[in-house]
A and B are shown apart, each in its own frame.
Chain A
Amino acid sequence: NAGVTQTPKFRILKIGQSMTLQCAQDMNHNYMYWYRQDPGMGLKLIYYSVGAGITDKGEVPNGYNVSRSTTEDFPLRLELAAPSQTSVYFCASSVTPLNSPLHFGNGTRLTVT
């Protein structure tokens, strides 16, 4: 069981470039989330999805977009990268019942210079 797989592990972008962070899970989870973690801080929710075709904004959605065309995949798109988007990005998934924990990927460290 692969769980939640994030690619790439590391990436350096120049200001104004775009990229897609990939996230895939093989556990047939309905709920999927994207969080960012700034150095020494907690995780903040960027976007979430409760099922294929359904996405919604979290606390810090500006500068990002998502799509959920299948249950398995939940890519995060960064358009016009800015230094403020330098962070570690985590994808997570969950199944009901809701006392189930979130399963996290190993994160993508993104640096924008």
Chain B
Amino acid sequence: AQTVTQSQPEMSVQEAETVTLSCTYDTSESDYYLFWYKQPPSRQMILVIRQEAYKQQNATENRFSVNFQKAAKSFSLKISDSQLGDAAMYFCAYRSLGETSGSRLTFGEGTQLTVNP
């Protein structure tokens, strides 16, 4: 079974600065997908960014980018020019392609990000 580890329960950043959230995962599969989700206090789950494992190029979405290191099984999220609205819980998630697992998402425990004005 796959596992996802987020080693930073809490992080803080000054407004306009850059912060990196860490994520590692364990899998024996060669093809899979990785996601970062954001959960603000409203508890809504919002997709931030996604990465296909077969793609070497790191995904970017505006101020959000990832550093995907397949051999190291690492998938960190970089937030540039942090804004107050970025404050939330961030979850790293792994999606298996295996039919026997229903292509489920496996989540890490989350990193609570605080943005200081």
A residues touching B (Cβ–Cβ < 8 Å)? 31, 33, 35, 40-45, 48-50, 56, 58, 88, 90, 92, 94, 98-99, 101-102, 104, 106-107
Contacts and interface: CB of A to CB of B under 8 A. Distances in A.
B33 A42 contact: no
Interface stretch (B13-21, B63-71, B80-88, B97-105): B97-105
Interface of B: 4, 33, 35, 42-45, 47, 50, 52, 91, 95, 97, 99, 102-110
Given A31-B102, A42-B91, A94-B103, A101 B109 contact: no
19 contacts: A31-B103, A33-B102, A35-B107, A41-B109, A42-B107, A43-B91, A43-B107, A45-B106, A48-B104, A49-B102, A58-B102, A58-B104, A92-B105, A99-B33, A99-B95, A102-B45, A106-B43, A106-B44, A107-B44
A50 B33 contact: no
The dominant DSSP class at the A interface is strand
Contacts of A45: 104-106
Given A42-B91, A50-B102, A106-B43, A98 B107 contact: no
A88 B97 CA distance: 26
A106 B43 CA distance: 7
Contacts of B107: 35, 42-44
A31 B95 CA distance: 13
Contacts of B110: 40-42
B102 A48 contact: yes
